[in-house]
Copies of this chain bind each other. A is one copy, B any other.
Amino acid sequence: MNLIQRLDKGPIICAEGYLFAMERRGYLSAGAFVPEVVIEHPEVVTQLHREFIRAGSDVVQAFTYYGHREKLRIIGKEHLLEKLQKNALQIARYAREEFPELDLMVCGDVANTNVYDPNDSSSLKQCQKMYEEQIQWAKEAGVDFVIAETINWVEEMKIALKTIKQEKLIAVTNFAIPRGDLTRDGYTPSDACKMMEDEGADVVGLNCYRGPKMTMKFLDEIKDKVTCHVSALPVPYRTTEKEPGFLNIIDEGCDCIPGGNAFPVALDNLFCNRYEMGEFAKECSEKNINFIGICCGAEPHHVREMSMAIGKKPISMKYAPDMSKHFHHGNDSTLRDINKKITY
């Protein structure tokens, strides 16, 4: 079954967030955010794939995000582009192969190029070339589909989508919506998604920037407007109406952050817990939004709860919490009463 057939049968989980997770674990630098780890320490990427798969992700996303030409240019490593992309695709495939019983999908992705400028026509060609090379490598690697994501211009997304479709691949287009609740070229999320469906996208929706609540607010309208499947991959942070995205968010409880901006490396105290992410997944599922995921910030415990919340039984469910055996909170009769009597 391909992605569409899978989504026709019910929801799937797609774990993202590789950049942030690898940054926290110490294998790439915040700012440039280039996935150099896929060259330098592929075994660490493999391990993260494993954790997400065990937690219930049905998709193994090749860690090509931000491994594109513009990102490599800014750190002076464009010569590594092809190796990085191909390594990432291979690592993803190898990770899938460790779990033959799971019927996982591997996907490639393309993302915001950071060079698109509607007023600079040369930038459009540059985008297209960037997308072409990445999608070509993804196709050669035999991916099941390609996600175009974290893009906030409808016109940039069109270029990405057209390039995916030229290769006859299944396309998921996910917009990241800035503060004004519109794409940067002024479309509502639902209009932008509808335009992508009309251009041939197989799945349309949102990812990144916003937490579960600020993402959910657009989903009904998108679902109403399009006939194809809808995707939703928020970041696991508590963004609000006042601060709907995480790119310029402040953490009021802390004055020790250099520059004052919690993004990207001091977001810890804004984290959603696993249950909030589980609720998001469940609500999506009830609304027949079937491509459910999580973006920057995700850890395996979030993913597992999302998977379990929609009724799946991921491998690491074996280690789901069971407080009955906790020395203080537990109710197992063989635990000592003396540790339960006080409030610590």
Contacts and interface: CB of A to CB of B under 8 A. Distances in A.
Interface of A: 23-33, 38, 42-44, 46-47, 51, 54-55, 73-75, 83, 86-88, 90-91, 93-101, 103, 112, 114-115, 117, 119, 139-142, 178-179, 184, 209, 236, 238, 245, 247-248, 251, 253-254, 256-259, 261-276, 278-279, 299-301, 304, 315-316, 318-330, 332, 334-336, 338-339, 342-344
Contacts of A299: 24-25
A343 B248 contact: yes
Contact of A332 (B26, B74, B94, B139): B74
A110 to B, nearest CB: 15
B273 A257 contact: yes
B275 A266 contact: yes
A47 B43 CA distance: 9
Contact of A117 (B54, B238, B336): B336
B42 A97 contact: yes
12 contacts: A31-B329, A42-B97, A73-B334, A91-B97, A91-B100, A93-B97, A94-B96, A100-B142, A238-B253, A257-B275, A264-B321, A271-B271
Contacts of A279: 256
B25 A300 contact: yes
Given A25-B51, A30-B322, A329-B261, A336 B90 contact: no
**Copies of this chain in its oligomeric complex:** 4
A24 B38 CA distance: 22
A74 B319 contact: no
Given A25-B300, A101-B86, A268 B257 contact: no
Given A24-B299, A26-B51, A269-B271, 15 more contacts: A29-B322, A30-B321, A31-B323, A31-B325, A32-B322, A42-B97, A42-B99, A74-B335, A97-B98, A119-B338, A179-B342, A247-B328, A259-B329, A263-B329, A266-B273
